[in-house]
Structure 1
Amino acid sequence: MKKTIYKKIHIIGSVGSGKTTLAKEISSLLGIPYYELDNVVWIRNKSGDIRRTEQEREEYLNSILQSDNWIIEGIHNEDWVSNCFQSADLIIFLDTNYLVRTYRIIKRFLKQKLRIEKANYKPTLDIFFKMFKWNRHFEEVGKVNFFNKYVVHKDKIKVINNAKCIKKYFN
């Protein structure tokens, strides 16, 4: 049996689903750089994040997509990321349990406030509560939209409920 080599991987899931952790693990295992879509949307700055213009965002994303290999992770499934799904060899949809994600959001916020975990953003109460909103929206709307919109890529989508399941694809 021929082993499939994935060079372009897109990981999608809700807040707290484990996207970044999985992207880092696969990146380390395969030696492929990973990118967070949030950092494509935002220019990270110590004095505060600045949203990229649509053109800047598109140019930055296209520069990543033109690379020979990449892992892209994020919650986004809007039209501006459709080329990511089209270009990917593998799309991992992290369908982590809603309550597990909720727990992780709380745990992450506490760790960030205690400076145990680094954040790409300032961990404010406003962001904390927005994460619950985004988590609920993804569960009720984002998940359905993704599968309706990207059904054309069903042959390369792997739905994963936990990180243990994905390791079999890379071992």
Structure 2
Amino acid sequence: MKNYERIYILGTSGSGKSFLGNKLSKQLKVPHYDLDDIYFIRKYDKPRSKESRTKKAKKLWAKKKWILDGGGGMWSRGAMKHAKLVIWLQTPFRIRSWRIFKRYIRRKGKYKETVKDCLGLIKHSGKYRFGKRHFHYRGHKNYLDKHNINYIIIKNKKQLEKLYRMNK
């Protein structure tokens, strides 16, 4: 995996995208970017206009090396097309739910998040596998296959550890 200059980490909320992105960034010495920083003006609070985030995203995609993570909404599909490898995290729902809850507790007071927001994110994460929209599992699978994008799927800790060992 050391040969991949641009890696996109795909997954729903709580799947471990940011954690993996940070870890791979350190291992591979490649800068890591969170698409939430492109999407929001103020983290998790005020979104940028579509034009502004598209402009920022295109500027980022033009860089020679990057590790990007994002949930895979419609506008982030460009990241998948520009990536040399997509790592698709398919973490079990129970783990995602716990992570989302822990993250809410950890960030409490730093952002304008409420318990309702946290529960909404857990609900959204739960719909990921069986939803029919473009940002759900089926939409991601169809997009990756249709565009012949190189991707690997990580479903558990054992597969994740194997991925880490590939980089040493």
In structure 2, stretches of 5+ residues that fail to align are none
Alpha-carbon distance between aligned partners in 2 of 1:153 and 1:9, rounded to the nearest angstrom:
16
Match of 1:73 among 69, 75, 89: 69
> What displacement does 1:105 show?
1.4
Aligned residues: 161
After superposition, the C-alpha distances for 1:132-167 in whole angstroms (9 at most, x for unaligned) are: 122022222211110012213556110001332321
**1:18 and 1:101 mapped to 2: Cα distance?**
8
- 2:26 is equivalent to residue 28 of structure 1: yes
Do the aligned residues in 2 keep the contact of 1:12 with 1:74 (CA within 8 Å)? yes
Q: Contact (CA 8 Å) 1:23, 1:34: kept in 2 or not?
A: yes
Secondary structure class of the residue paired with 1:91: strand
Q: 1:58 aligns with which of 54, 61, 68?
A: 54
Alpha-carbon distance change, 16 to 165 in structure 1, aligned in 2, over 3 angstroms: farther
CA contact (8 A) 1:85 1:153 kept: no
Identical-pair percentage: 27
Q: How does 1:87-166 map to 2 (within 5 A)?
A: 87-113=82-108, 121-141=111-131, 142-154=136-148, 156-162=150-156, 163-166=160-163
Q: 3-state SS of the aligned residue for 1:6?
A: coil
Q: 1:66 to 1:56 in 2, by over 3 A?
A: same
- The AA in structure 2 aligned to 1:146 is H
Provide the C-alpha distance between the structure 1 equivalents of 2:137 and 2:71, rounded to a whole number of angstroms. 10
| SS across alignment from 1:43 | strand
CA contact (8 A) 2:81 2:149 kept: no
Residues 50-94 of structure 1 deviation map (CA, whole Å, 9 limit, x = unaligned) = 21111101100001001111111011241x222211110110000
**AA aligned opposite 2:64:** D
Q: How far is 1:101 from its partner?
A: 0.8
Distance 2:163 2:113 in 1: 30
* Unaligned 5+ runs, structure 1: none
Q: CA, structure 1 residues 111+41, in 2 after alignment: closer, same or farther (shift >3 Å)? A: same
Distance 1:85 1:155 in 2: 7
TM-score, normalization by structure 2: 0.86
Report SS of the residue matched to 2:10. Answer: strand
- Structure 1 SS opposite 2:128: helix
Cα RMSD (Å):
2.0
